[in-house]
């Protein structure tokens, strides 16, 4: 077998502190636990929804809540994490005043897939904690994505995989259940610059803004249209799953804002979803925008802020960006 995650983190070429090293290992161990819980969820009566909503008005699944409870156990992060913000919590929680980092996550992404045994994931983002010694406030988490010190996701698919960046390229690890360890699969992953495959929830076509409609309509026209070539389409309804395909073989993923009142700023969240995924995509040579502008340059105004998301193979993302700038 190849390098373990721990061996990879110890390699001198990475600019990471011993605390960040421990934090990543703790995140990977927590996700390995969650992988086992998800992998036996029907057998343990852990599927289905609870009769409650999160702060964003979304019905919570049993596993949304259970996974969040798993990730916020303070003993996991002792000496590394000062505070946590999660998609499933109203506000931040303080963890360890001596921690150097802020941990931000979407514990289960794509949770509508849980009940159909489809792909889901965990997305995480890590920022430097302020060194003031004062209690944390929400404002401490409101940093542009370009300031992330690490970002990644774990995909609970046929194989459980960790995709990770520290701003020096992207590496993919596979979780070996019997050995209870993570092993390097690919390092310095690069997304193909060109693609002929798009991912968008096309049932929202009538709600899209003109630049999105123009781009997708041109793809759909295929060989007979201005693009002069046929396109393929995929949509898993799990950002982690769709993004993993883009990272693996190229493509463009879009969840744009549209004319529906509850999607006027997009559906995906800046801190828990867009920033860490945009960090990975850029580190793999792709591009990530909100329409006219780069996602990682956005300054979030609140913890649960949403954003339009368009990312993947550089040529196609730049084409969509030019349509937004012309409009
Ligand atoms: P979450 O399960 O964390 O709420 O995120 C679901 C997101 C994302 O993973 C996916 O791309 C998108 O919602 C799917 O939305 P639609 O059901 O509107 O297609
Ligand atoms: Mn999500
Ligand atoms: Mn979620």
Any residues with Cβ below 6 Å from ligand 1, and which?
58, 87, 106, 109-112, 201, 237-239, 255, 267
126 vs 130: CA distance, rounded Å: 13
Q: Report residue 76: phi and psi, to 5°.
A: -65, -30
Relative to the alpha carbon of 112, which ligand is closest? Answer: 1
Boundary residue ending a domain (151, 186, 221): 186
Say yes or no: 178 and 221 in one domain.
no
Does residue 223 sit in the same domain as residue 303? yes
- DSSP letters along 277-315, please? HHHHHHHTT-EEESSSSBGGG---SSTT-EE-EEEESHH
Between CA 139 and CA 240 the distance in angstroms is 27
Angle (CA) 179-189-113 rounded to 5° is 65
User: Is 192 inside any structural domain?
Assistant: no
Same domain, 19 and 159: yes
Decide: helix, strand or coil at residue 163.
Answer: strand
**Which ligand has the shortest distance to the CA of 57?**
1
pLDDT at 132: 86
Q: Ligand 1, residues 109, 253, 311: which to mutate, most atoms within 8 A of Cβ?
A: 109
Check if the beta carbon of residue 320 is closer than 8 Å to that of residue 215.
yes
Question: Is 59 among the domain residues?
Answer: yes
What is the layout of strands, in order, in the sheet containing 150-156? Answer: 93-94, 81-86, 101-109, 120-128, 150-156, 160-165, 170-176, 181-186
Domain end residue (candidates: 129, 156, 186): 186
Claim to verify: residue 83 and residue 157 sit in the same structural domain: yes
By C-alpha distance, which of 155, 166, 164 is closest to 184? 164
**Which residues of the chain carry a pLDDT beneath 70?**
1, 12
The CATH code of the domain that includes 218 is 3.40.190.80
Dist CA 188 CA 62 (whole Å): 36
* Domain assignment of residue 97, given as a range: 5-186
What single DSSP character describes residue 167? S
What pLDDT score was predicted for residue 8?
Answer: 96
Q: Tell me: do 153 and 216 sit in the same domain.
A: no
R_g (Cα) of the chain, nearest Å: 19
- With 0-12 CB in 10 A as exposed, 13-18 as middle and 19+ as buried, what is 19? middle
In a shared domain, residues 230 and 145: no
What's the pLDDT score for residue 101? 98
pTM: 0.98
Report how many domains make up the chain: 2
pLDDT of residue 204: 98
Determine what percent of the chain falls in helix, strand and coil, rounding each to the nearest 5: 35, 25, 35
CATH number of the domain that residue 162 is part of? 3.30.540.10
Domain boundary among 153, 186, 219: 186
- Report pLDDT for 55: 86
Both 276 and 139 in one domain: the answer is no
How far is the centre of ligand 1, averaged over its atoms, from the C-alpha of 110 (Å)? Answer: 5
Helix (H, G, I), strand (E, B) or coil at 214: helix
Q: How far apart are alpha carbons 122 and 72 in whole angstroms? A: 14
Per-residue confidence (pLDDT) for residue 186, from 0 to 100: 97
| Whole-number pLDDT of residue 1 | 65
Q: Give strand pairing partners of 170.
A: 165
**Would you say residue 191 lies in a domain?**
no
49, 123, 239, 262, best to mutate for ligand 1 pocket (most atoms within 8 Å of CB):
239
Q: Number of C-alpha atoms within 13 angstroms, CB side, residue 213?
A: 10
What is the rounded CA–CA span in Å between residue 274 and residue 296?
Answer: 8
DSSP 46-111: --SEEEEE-TTSPEEEHHHHHHHHHHT-GGGGTTTEEEEEETTSSS-EE--TT--EEEEEEEEETG
Query: Buried b vs exposed e over 259-276: b needs ≥16 C-beta within 10 Å?
Result: eeeebeebbbbbbbbbbb
Same domain (yes/no): 9, 134: yes
Is there a single domain that holds both residue 204 and residue 133?
no
Same domain, 284 and 156: no
| Together in a domain, 24 and 97 | yes
| Ligand 1 atom with minimal separation from the 241 CA | 9
Q: pLDDT for 229-263, tens place per residue?
A: 999 999 999 999 999 999 999 999 999 999 999 99
Are 166 and 202 contained in the same domain? no
CA of 68 to the centre of ligand 3 (A): 9
């Amino acid at each position: 077998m190849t390098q373990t995650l721990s061996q990879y983190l110890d390699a001198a070429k990475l600019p990471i502190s011993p605390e960040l090293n421990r934090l990543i290992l703790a995140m990977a161990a927590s996700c390995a636990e969650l992988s086992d819980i998800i992998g036996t969820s029907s057998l343990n009566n852990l599927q289905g929804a609870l009769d409650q909503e999160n702060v964003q008005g979304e019905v919570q699944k049993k596993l949304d809540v259970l996974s969040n409870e798993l990730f916020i156990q303070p003993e996991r992060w002792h000496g590394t994490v000062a505070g946590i913000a999660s998609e499933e919590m109203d506000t931040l929680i303080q963890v360890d005043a001596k921690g150097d980092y802020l941990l931000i996550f979407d514990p289960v992404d794509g949770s509508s897939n849980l009940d159909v045994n489809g792909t889901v994931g965990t997305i995480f983002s890590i920022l430097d904690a302020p060194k003031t010694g004062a209690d944390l406030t929400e404002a401490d988490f409101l940093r542009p994505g370009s300031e992330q010190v690490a970002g990644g996701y774990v995909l609970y698919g046929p194989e459980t995989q960790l995709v990770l960046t520290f701003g020096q390229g992207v590496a993919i690890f596979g979780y070996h259940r019997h050995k209870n360890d993570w092993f390097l699969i690919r390092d310095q992953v690069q997304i193909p610059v060109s693609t002929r495959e798009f991912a968008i929830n096309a049932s929202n076509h009538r709600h899209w803004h003109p630049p999105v409609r123009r781009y997708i309509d041109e793809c759909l026209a295929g060989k007979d249209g201005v693009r002069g070539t046929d396109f393929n389409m995929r949509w898993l309804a799990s950002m982690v799953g769709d993004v993993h395909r883009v990272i693996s073989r190229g493509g463009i993923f879009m969840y744009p804002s549209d004319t529906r009142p509850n999607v006027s700023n997009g559906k995906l969240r800046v801190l828990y979803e867009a920033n860490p995924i945009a960090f990975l995509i850029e580190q793999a040579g792709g591009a990530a925008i909100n329409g006219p502008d780069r996602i990682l340059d956005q300054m979030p105004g609140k913890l649960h802020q949403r954003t339009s998301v368009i990312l993947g193979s550089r040529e196609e993302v730049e084409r969509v960006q030019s349509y937004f700038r012309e409009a």
